A and B are shown apart, each in its own frame.
Chain A
Amino acid sequence: MIGALWSNFDYAVSVVLFLIGLYCVIAKNNLIKKFMGLNIMETSVFAFIVAIGVVDRGSAPIMGPGARGPFVNPIPQALILTGIVVAVSTTALALSLIVRVWHQCGTIEADELRELE
């Protein structure tokens, strides 16, 4: 199993990144830090899916004169391009909600917010 994992080193890195993000979401107390943890998790998923599209000695999938194969898989790149933009949108909305919480409650620490109830 270790040998198989070593040949899939790039996938394993994205798992590690995912767990770092999950740690931030669970352990951190500040809402912005929690959300940055969620962003790290998103990034790890993006890195994983783009890594699926990699082909040995593949070049960018741009046709035209002089283009020679093999080309890398264009579908993960297209999917992740849209995914990144949706991640930006959720980040913007979450940050604006956090700004709103800060104006209303004067704090964005999760435990202090729990005491306010």
Chain B
Amino acid sequence: MKKALIIALLAVAAIPLLAAMASMPRFGSPEQPAYTHVASRYLQKGAEEAGADNVVTGVILNYRGFDTNGEVTVIFTACAATAAVLVTSGSRKKEKPGEATVPLSPVVGYVVRLLAPFIALFAFYVVLFGEVSPGGGFQGGTIFAALIIILSVVAGRNVAERVLPARVRPWLQIAGPLSFIAVGTLGAVLTGSYLGFPHARGLLATAMLMGIELGIGIGGATVFASIFWRLGDEP
């Protein structure tokens, strides 16, 4: 009875939404308003103005740099808030090194150990080639965090934590906002405005973008791995 009522309510809600979708410009049309204004300029001038061949990276880090600056702060804040909500006394259940948290077949463990260096290499490739190919800091950081998470599931958390030692982890967690502030201040010194990128020196602008990407990648990977570990902690 209750379910039928909810489905009827959703059917009523679907009508205006579907009507709005029917009145949108045709899917994939080059004449739609979203494509003809700002986007066409970004596509024409974006590569030389932003210093990155990949226009998406240019939009994220250069045209909308302030937005991304706030957003790397959001993921750091999420990490801090998770740590604040799940306060632990530090008495984590001791596990032997190399012991998996769940029983696994040896094939899984072997394959993960075999693939781990290649996954790490791919993560760094995605981070560093975000300028000229699909990829960037967030994507590469997520791949690296996935590697750390799968290692801590398969090989045990103590093995995975050796990749990100507890001593340097707070600094790595805030690497994203810190690299943004550093590059933004450098831009302020060079061009007079925060997060300004010097147009004339294309190589320098690309190097600055790469610095931010690396910071976002390291910061994102550490934040996601720390959140995963924190969720698994005993209270």
Residues of A whose CB lies within 8 Å of any CB of B are 1, 4-5, 7-12, 15-16, 18-19, 22-23, 26-27, 51-56, 58, 60-64, 69-71, 73-78, 81-82, 84-86, 88-90, 92-93, 95-97, 99-100, 103
Q: Are B27 and A78 in contact, CB atoms less than 8 angstroms apart?
A: no
The residue that B22 contacts in the complex, of A5, A51, A95, with Cβ under 8 A, is A5
Q: Are A78 and B77 in contact, CB atoms less than 8 angstroms apart?
A: no
Bound complex: CA A56 to CA B43 (Å): 16
8 Å CB contacts to A: which residues of B105-147? 132-134, 136, 138
Q: A4-B22, A11-B24 are in contact. Are A86 and B30 (CB under 8 A)?
A: no
Binary per-residue interface labels of chain B (16-55) against chain A in the complex, 1 for a CB within 8 Å, 0 otherwise: 0111011110111110101100110011001100000111
Q: Are B78 and A90 in contact, CB atoms less than 8 angstroms apart?
A: yes
The residue that B71 contacts in the complex, of A15, A27, A82, with Cβ under 8 A, is A82
Bound complex: CA A64 to CA B79 (Å): 37
Contacts of B77 in A (CB 8 A): 89
Interface residue SS majority, chain A = helix
Interface residue SS majority, chain B = helix
Contacts of A89 in B (CB 8 A): 74-75, 77-78
The residue that B2 contacts in the complex, of A15, A19, A27, A78, with Cβ under 8 A, is A27
For the complex formed, measure the closest distance between the CB of A63 and the CB atoms of chain B, giving whole angstroms. 4
Bound complex: CA A64 to CA B81 (Å): 42
- The 15 listed contacts between A and B (C-beta, < 8 Å) are A4-B22, A7-B27, A15-B14, A22-B10, A27-B2, A53-B39, A58-B28, A61-B54, A61-B55, A64-B132, A73-B34, A74-B55, A81-B138, A85-B220, A93-B85
